[in-house]
Amino acid sequence: MNLSEPRPYPNGHLIIKQLVSDPVFSKNKTGLSKEEKIDSITEHFREIMLVLGLDLNDDSLKDTPARVAKMYIQETFSGLDEENEPDITLFENKYHYSEMLIEKNISVYSTCEHHFVPIIGKAHIGYIPKGRVVGLSKLNRIVHYFSNRPQVQERLTVQIAAYLKKVLHTEDIAVVIDATHLCVASRGIRDVDSSTITSSFNGQFLNTEKRKEFNLHISGK
């Protein structure tokens, strides 16, 4: 039995706005269409390139402002658009599965909001089902949705956990993210070997044994 409804939580932005402070939720809405945003960013990025002294008549560079603008709106920052919130498909837990369910090594591609350079890593999600389970690919889509916006890793971790708690009607949620920040690796200290790990353990995952079991599974040992 498919228990899904069209957007059972019609606005993940509203859910997270209530639970987690996020600069995404500015009161200063632009009111621009996607096309208008692309046009505006194209012109602004063109100005940046000109200030850097780049030759925009060069075949390799002349279309770069438009390419960057489209990438920002359609891909890199697509999580800023509420229309891109994933539809969540829930299914009846007809097998009465009551152990932890884990989806690990979910790709994380986000953008550091401090320097606008990439955050690249993996997310591991675990939950203990109650009456319903979520389609596995939806966990990946939720991670991607909240990653595709300017972020800090701590907030991203908490947002994913908060959203899943609301969607699955359970506190038994665990989220761990292990990521490399290009603001550390490609500039400043230029440390290419370090990574950042953040976690959000809730409900039964606050229990030491449950947490240990989860960490054992995601470590692959």
| Residue positions annotated with a catalytic role | 112-115, 153, 181, 183
| Beta carbons of 76 and 148 less than 8 angstroms apart | yes
